């Protein structure tokens, strides 16, 4: 079994078309077809069904696809790791982060890393924690900043808690509440802007409201972080958001929830069975030093604190 054969198979499985897959891989179609047939012969089972021009995966192909993707991702990581031995003059870090972190602390941390290692390519994937955990497991990310606790106990990941932050009720600044705190019960019947399904903050909001004995009333739902904040600014309702995303947004104000309030924990995660590349390790060290420095000089966003000195 050759990596090139697996790459051809994945290309056809994703395109569901031999010609398009050959164009994507920049190879003649007969050569691509020949390599896939050789792979099928070696495995002893057909991987693709070619009926009337339609290409579909057989049960064997369905089983092989996630394994092939992971093997190709690991091989790519190995090549880059070898290339980094020259002293981090080149390489790549594939980082996943939730939208609230991308809108908050990440820009400054990435800028500091880029200044220290200008030859390292930074690829950032912005998504919810559940999707980031799946991307880590598939080998598509080196590191991810995710929300704890995990929705499922995944023994394949190593997680390190780094930050805790408060959730606040965000509203337009012109309607600033005179009260220093709000209770979850105060949101009963109040128009709310809600995140899309599968979003961590959606689940946190629904859980808090239901524990208080009511279902929240949505005026609009389905947005990502930036969209939700813009909807709140427009007066469509309030939302429950991390305190850090309000930094630099004078049109919005966040009202804390009555103690003990609601908090969430942010962790940095990587796969247990694959040691992070040197570039990824350098980014982790840079991020932790940046956060420790910010905590020491008091420049962390309001409501955000370091879990422990790293």
* DSSP character string of 120-188: EEEEEEE--HHHHHHHHHTTS-SEEEEEESPSS--TTEEEEEEEEEEEEEEEEGGG--SSS-B-GGGGT
Predicted pLDDT of residue 310: 44
Distance, CA of 93 to CA of 277 (rounded, Å): 8
Predicted pLDDT of residue 26: 87
If one counts every other C-beta atom within 10 angstroms of the C-beta of residue 90, the result is 14
- Residues of the chain where predicted confidence (pLDDT) is lower than 70: 52-53, 79-89, 151-155, 176-177, 308-310
Predicted pLDDT of residue 125: 92
The answer to whether 254 touches 271, Cβ cutoff 8 Å, is: no
Distance, CA of 303 to CA of 235 (rounded, Å): 24
Pairing of strands 239-242, 143-148: unpaired
If one counts every other C-beta atom within 10 angstroms of the C-beta of residue 26, the result is 6
Give just the sign of the alpha carbon dihedral 183, 184, 189, 191. Answer: positive
Buried b (16+ CB within 10 A) or exposed e, 93-108: bbbbbbbbbbbbbbee
Predicted pLDDT of residue 168: 93
Predicted pLDDT of residue 137: 85
Tokens of 68: 């092939």
């Amino acid at each position: 079994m050759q990596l090139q054969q697996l790459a051809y198979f994945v290309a056809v499985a994703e395109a569901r078309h031999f010609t398009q897959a050959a164009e994507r891989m920049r190879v003649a179609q007969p050569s691509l077809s020949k390599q896939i047939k050789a792979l099928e012969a070696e495995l002893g089972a057909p991987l693709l069904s070619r009926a009337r021009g339609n290409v579909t995966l057989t049960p064997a192909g369905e089983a092989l696809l996630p394994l092939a993707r992971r093997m190709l991702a690991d091989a790519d990581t190995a090549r880059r790791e070898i290339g980094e031995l020259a002293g981090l003059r080149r390489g790549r870090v594939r980082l996943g982060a939730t939208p609230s972190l991308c809108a908050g602390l990440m820009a400054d941390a990435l800028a500091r890393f880029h200044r220290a290692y200008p030859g390292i390519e930074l690829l950032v994937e912005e998504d919810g924690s559940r999707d980031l955990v799946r991307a880590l497991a598939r080998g598509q990310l080196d590191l991810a900043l995710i929300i704890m606790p995990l929705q499922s106990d995944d023994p394949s990941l190593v997680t390190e808690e780094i930050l805790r932050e408060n959730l606040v009720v965000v509203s337009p600044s012109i309607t600033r509440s005179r009260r220093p705190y709000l209770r979850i019960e105060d949101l009963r019947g109040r128009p709310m802007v809600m995140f899309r399904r599968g979003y961590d903050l959606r689940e946190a909001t629904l859980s808090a409201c239901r524990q208080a004995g009511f279902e929240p009333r949505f005026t609009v739902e389905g947005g990502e972080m930036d969209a939700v904040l813009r909807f709140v600014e427009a007066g469509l309702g309030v939302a429950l958001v991390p305190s850090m995303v309000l930094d630099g947004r004078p049109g919005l104000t966040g009202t804390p929830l009555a103690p003990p309030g609601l908090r969430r924990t942010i962790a940095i995660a990587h796969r247990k069975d694959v040691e992070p590349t040197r570039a990824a390790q350098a980014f982790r060290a840079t991020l932790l030093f940046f956060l420790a420095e910010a905590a020491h000089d008091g420049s962390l966003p309001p409501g955000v604190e370091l879990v422990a000195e790293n």
